[in-house]
């Protein structure tokens, strides 16, 4: 069974600080996705990365897929209270749409 480990599990920072969330596995994924989930709602897709070494930017969020496609990171620059939420990574098993989810990173940004 493929596993995805996310770190840290919890993160509480002040507005304006930078942070990085990690998603690691010993398995290779054909693609990796990042989601943000707010209380009482379903996850919302932020980005999909498919190529080893790929870097994608979404405003203040930067996503990177590891060269070996086993890990990924999410970097937030100058965090804002609106970034508060649960961040989830999900890896697709070998060419399928079957996704394994990480356990999540709960981020709180204080004003």
Partner 1 sequence: NAGVTQTPKFQVLKTGQSMTLQCAQDMNHEYMSWYRQDPGMGLRLIHYSVGAGITDQGEVPNGYNVSRSTTEDFPLRLLSAAPSQTSVYFCASTGPGRGEQYFGPGTRLTVT
Q: How far is the CB of 97 from partner 1 (least distance, A)?
A: 5
Is residue 44 near partner 1 by the rule CB under 8 A? Answer: yes
Distance CA 17, CA 13 (A): 7
82 by DSSP, 3-state: which? helix
Is residue 25 near partner 1 by the rule CB under 8 A? Answer: no
| Strands of 29-104, DSSP E | 31-37, 44-49, 55-58, 61-65, 71-76, 85-92, 99-101
* Angle, alpha carbons 88-71-9 (nearest 5°): 40
Binding segment for partner 1 among 11-19, 43-51, 55-63, 70-78 (CB under 8 A)? 43-51
* Angle, alpha carbons 77-82-83 (nearest 5°): 45
Footprint of partner 1 on residues 90-109 (CB under 8 A)? Answer: 90, 92, 97-104
Taking the least distance from each CB to partner 1, the nearer of 98 and 108 is: 98
Tell which one of 1, 59, 82, 111 touches partner 1 (CB under 8 A). 1
Residue with tokens 């980005």: 47
Q: How far is the CB of 10 from partner 1 (least distance, A)?
A: 11
The site for partner 1 (CB under 8 A) is made up of: 1, 4, 9, 31, 33, 40-45, 48, 50, 88, 90, 92, 97-104
């Amino acid at each position: 069974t493929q596993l995805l480990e996310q770190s840290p599990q919890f993160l509480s920072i002040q507005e304006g600080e930078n942070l990085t969330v990690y998603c690691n596995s010993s398995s290779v994924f054909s693609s990796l996705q990042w989601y943000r989930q707010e209380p009482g709602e379903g996850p919302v897709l932020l980005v999909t990365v498919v190529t080893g070494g790929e870097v994608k930017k979404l405003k203040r969020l930067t996503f990177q897929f590891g060269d070996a496609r086993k890990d990924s990171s999410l970097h937030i620059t100058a965090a804002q209270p609106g970034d508060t939420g649960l961040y989830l990574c999900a890896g697709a098993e070998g060419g399928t749409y079957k996704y394994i989810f990480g356990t999540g990173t709960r981020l709180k940004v204080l004003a």
